[in-house]
Structures are given as structure tokens and as C-alpha cells.
Copies of this chain bind each other. A is one copy, B any other.
Amino acid sequence: MTFPAELERVASTVEQRLGTLLGADQATLPASTKLGDAMRYAALGGGKRLRPFLMIQSARLLDVEETAALDAACALECVHCYSLVHDDLPAMDDDDMRRGRPTAHKAFDEATAILAGDALLTLAFEILSTPQTHEDATTRAELVLMLAKASGWQGMALGQALDLSAAHQTFSAEETVKMQALKTGALFRFACEGGAVLGRADPQGRAALAAYANAFGQAFQLADDLLDAEGNAEAVGKAVAKDAERGKATLVALLGIEGAKAHLAGLVAEAEDALAPFGDKAAMLIDAARFVAERRA
């Protein structure tokens, strides 16, 4: 199967499972609440589901069936969706549009959006700790610990806090990369290392997936920054050039567009090298790294 077809297939599987986990097929309380509606609005109906894709493919690299990684991948997506809802809030990035639709606080209201984000984050840990997600309690507890670290005060939340502070100070290239490694990189690392944990990878295998994830995350962010610098609002479905407007530090601003593109190619090569020990089995993950680097929307 080609990469775009596989990405689409996994996204569809994730969408369906997330809907079930979010009570989309229940007509009764507590699913049928405004809060439930807002959670489903924020989590369903869009997105490439890249993080779940990475988790499922990383697990598959270690011979884990897709169904055995699916719920953990959905938990990860819940955290990603919560972060989008909160980042879009007026007090944060103040975005009105997301994936071509009104953001959650625009479609509902601010209080409901805050609560929906809170509840999606909480649901992620509920899913990860449910015996149905993984039969082994040690694995469940380890995934909870890893996801909490990746998304908390020393991970994604810190990255967002630092990003907000960037409006008031100048970041060096090193500081920018470090901030982005927290803000967007941490969840990519969880996706790949979480897949490694599901597949009981040996230390070398886990380290290889972590190295891949680091390169992937940086490539993803750099491609995003390039889109921001070059893109247009129609193509990416959200306001563009906002970073430059707000004086946010990005590698593109620091390296220039051509310099950033060269760096991006190097990151893709790094991602490929990391997975070399897995041989042909890693083709789909390598294609994923190429895809995020080349995407123009």
C-alpha cells in the first residue's frame, strides 16, 4: 500500500474508534451533553491523524497488530486535540479557524472549550489505563507515565508557555529548536516510543524509534514554519504568517528559506538513518518523514 493511501486508511480507522470512545453512537447521558458535543467537535471530523499513524506504524514495526495499538493511539490523539482547543483560545493564540472550521470556542463558547480540552486530556489517561487498551498493567502504567511527561509541565505545556513568552523576547536558533521539541516534538516522541513500549522493543530498537521521532518532529515543525512563511490561508486552513506578524522566533526566520530547506533535507536523512536497522519494514515510517517534509498544505 502506498503511503498516502495508508495514511488515509489509518485516519479513517482512528476517526471511527475515537468516535466510539467519545460516545458518538450513544444517544443517552452522559454522552449527549454539550460538553460531549464540544469534545466530539474538537476531536472528530478532521486532521491527518499523524500521531496515531506514527504510533500504530512504530508498533507494527515490532509486530504489534494494529488493533492492539489503536486505543493507545486514540488516547494520544485526544491529547493533541485538547492542545489545539486550548492553544486556540483567545487568551492564547486567539485563532478563529482550525481545519477550515470555526475553532471550538467559536463554535461553542470559551467555558465549554476550556472544559472540553480538560476533558479530552483526562479521557486520554482514562483510555490508556483501561485494561481493554492493553492487557498488561505495567505497560498501561508506563504509557500513562510517558504521556503525562510528554504533555505536561516539562513537555508540551512548557513548550506552549515558552512559545507564548517568545513574543516578548528573542530566541536563539538553539532555544527555538528546544521550545519546538517540547511543544510539538514531545508528542511525536511519545507516538514512536509508545509504539516501542507496546512492541516490547529492546533498548536499541526503542532508541532508534526515539531518534527517528526527534528528526521527524523537527522536520514537521520546520515544514510548518516554511508553510507559514510561504503558504496561503486557503491551503492550510488557518491564518498564516501569524508567526512572523507576532515576532515569534522560527528557524525559517533565523536560517532563511533556502537555509531552512537544506536543514529540512538533512532531518529527513537523519530520520531514515535512524531506522536503517529495521530494513525494509521501516519503509512506511520513512515515507512519513518524507511526506511531512514535502507537504505544501
Q: Residues on A close to B: CB < 8 A?
A: 30, 33-36, 39, 82, 86, 89, 91-92, 109-112, 114-115, 117-119, 121-123, 125-126, 128-131, 137-138, 140-142, 144-145, 147-149, 151-154, 157-158, 160-162, 164-165
Contact = CB atoms under 8 A, between A and B. Distances in A.
Given A33-B162, A35-B153, 18 more contacts: A33-B161, A35-B158, A35-B161, A82-B118, A91-B114, A92-B111, A112-B161, A112-B164, A115-B157, A118-B121, A119-B158, A128-B144, A129-B141, A129-B142, A129-B144, A129-B145, A131-B141, A140-B144
23 contacts: A30-B153, A30-B158, A33-B161, A35-B157, A35-B161, A39-B153, A92-B111, A92-B114, A111-B161, A114-B114, A115-B161, A117-B118, A118-B157, A121-B121, A122-B148, A122-B151, A125-B148, A129-B141, A129-B144, A129-B145, A131-B141, A137-B138, A141-B144
A126 B145 contact: yes
B126 A114 contact: no
B121 A122 contact: yes
A148 B129 contact: yes
A114 B89 contact: yes
Given A121-B121, A148-B126, A161 B34 contact: yes
Contacts of A144: 125-126, 128-129, 140-141, 144
B109 A91 contact: yes
Say whether chain A's binding surface is mostly helix, strand, loop, or mixed: helix
A157 B112 CA distance: 10
B157 A119 contact: yes
Contact of A158 (B33, B89, B111, B117): B33
Contacts of A161: 33-35, 111-112, 115
Contacts of A118: 82, 86, 117-118, 121, 157
Contacts of A121: 118, 121-122
Given A92-B114, A141-B129, A157-B118, A148 B165 contact: no
